[in-house]
Structure 1
Amino acid sequence: MALPPKFKGHRLAFYEAAATPELPQHTVEVFLDYVCPFSAKLFNTVYNTLTPALRADPVLSRRVQFVFRQQVQPWHPSSTLAHEAGLAVQRLAPTQFWAFSAALFAAQKEFFDVSVVGETRNETYKRLAQLAASSTGGSVEADEVYKLLAIPGRAADDGSLNVGNAVTNDLKVVVKMARLVGVHVSPTVIFDGVVANDISSSWTVEQWLDWLKKNVA
């Protein structure tokens, strides 16, 4: 599935493109939920150990790319809030999206159901904004992130109460993209447009590399 340019931060390539960049031949799309423990396992392997291995491989690094697909799981209400924070960072500093995602997965228990039940929606947004600021090397400020996330405390000029926030429309787009391909479970991996059911969140970097070498021409 195509990646809209506005979500360019969701793409993870593994080599420095030449003056005339060419997209890799193969795409691995990982549908992940920030408050899903199994998504965290898969992300951590891909980002922390597989990524350095791919960048060091002169063949694979040019032939494959990864795309982060935000898979909101609505039975965890905080999933929506966490993914909105990801979209806010993606808008403000696209190159920091994966770094923020790593920090959010590392701190995911702080946003599980029990961890957020006693605070308001905007209070959760404030914590997410602070995490964004602290994990992106100064690329974004907490106030900038919070401004995109905060829900106003009054009705809109037309009397509407379902006012959303500044990234609501972006959230609608990423949810639609997942629905278009029928993804339900997180994590789900799609390789070149086809669901790869054999890939597990428990895979080691060695298993990933073996699979990629067999499937990437």
Structure 2
Amino acid sequence: MPPPLPSSPQGIRFPPNSTSLPSLEVGVFIDFNCPFSRKIYNTIMAVSSATKIQNIQFVFHLVPQPWHPQSCILHEFGLAVHSILGAESFFMYASKIFSDSQETCFDDMTFEMSRKDIYSHLCGLCSDFIDASGASKITEFLSIKAGSGNSGNEATKLLKFCVKYHRVRGVHVTPTVFINGVEAPDISSGWTVSQWNEKLDSV
């Protein structure tokens, strides 16, 4: 039996409700636990506010880096938010993680925490936009059923597709940026909004 295939294109698109066909697609590979991903994400959000982006589609791809064990948990939670509450809530979650809250998920802060503890911590961080009903649905989505062995939770298959996609693309470092499917290695997490605008205008 062949391996399963995703039921929709990979990546989470921003702006989330855009209906126009983009002339420029910017793929951004990020890790929720990576400070450099935080820098590039926040700059891109500023670019999207300062630029006429009706013809530009940013597509965020999740890259859990294995040297941060909690990174998988952060990405599972994000995928659960996206699956249950939609793309707008996903970007609210991403913006929350890529604020000062990111440091509460670093290695030293999570070393004594269990997987369930981290899920609960993330629910607490998102309590201003995820209500009790949403949190309950996310918790159920991420639960491990008794007797299920190593099959994971509802987010596991989604996370596997994310990992397979970035491996096939040869992405190792976060952040990594592709423009119209081709890697743009000159783009740095330290870029300013004006540098991004100059780059996008040149394509």
The reply to whether TM is greater than 0.5 is yes
Greater relative contact order (Cα < 8 A, sep 6+): 2
Q: CA RMSD in A?
A: 2.2
Runs of 4+ in structure 1 over 6 Å off: none
* Deviations 1:39-95 (CA, angstroms, capped at 9, x unpaired): 000001111x111112xx2xxx23211001001101100110000011001101222
Kindly provide the amino acid, as one letter, of the partner of residue 52 in structure 1: S
Equivalent residue for 1:11, pick from 2, 10, 13: 13
Q: State percent identity of aligned pairs.
A: 37
Spell out the pairing of 1:32-181 with structure 2 (5 A cutoff): 32-47=30-45, 49-54=46-51, 57=52, 61-94=53-86, 95-106=88-99, 107-134=101-128, 136=129, 138=131, 141-152=134-145, 154-156=146-148, 161-181=149-169
Distance in 2 between residues matched to 1:104 and 1:67, nearest whole Å: 18
- Count of equivalent residues: 196
| Kept in 1: contact 2:64–2:71 (CA 8 A) | yes
What TM-score do you get using the length of structure 1 for normalisation?
Answer: 0.83
| Kept in 2: contact 1:110–1:116 (CA 8 A) | yes
Which runs of no fewer than 5 residues in structure 1 stay unpaired? none
Distance in 2 between residues matched to 1:190 and 1:118, nearest whole Å: 37
| Kept in 2: contact 1:93–1:140 (CA 8 A) | no
Distance in 2 between residues matched to 1:163 and 1:67, nearest whole Å: 28
* Deviations 1:97-119 (CA, angstroms, capped at 9, x unpaired): 11110101211111111111111
The structure with the largest alpha-carbon Rg is: 1
Distance in 2 between residues matched to 1:164 and 1:29, nearest whole Å: 28
Equivalent residue for 1:187, pick from 157, 172, 175: 175
| Kept in 2: contact 1:31–1:69 (CA 8 A) | yes
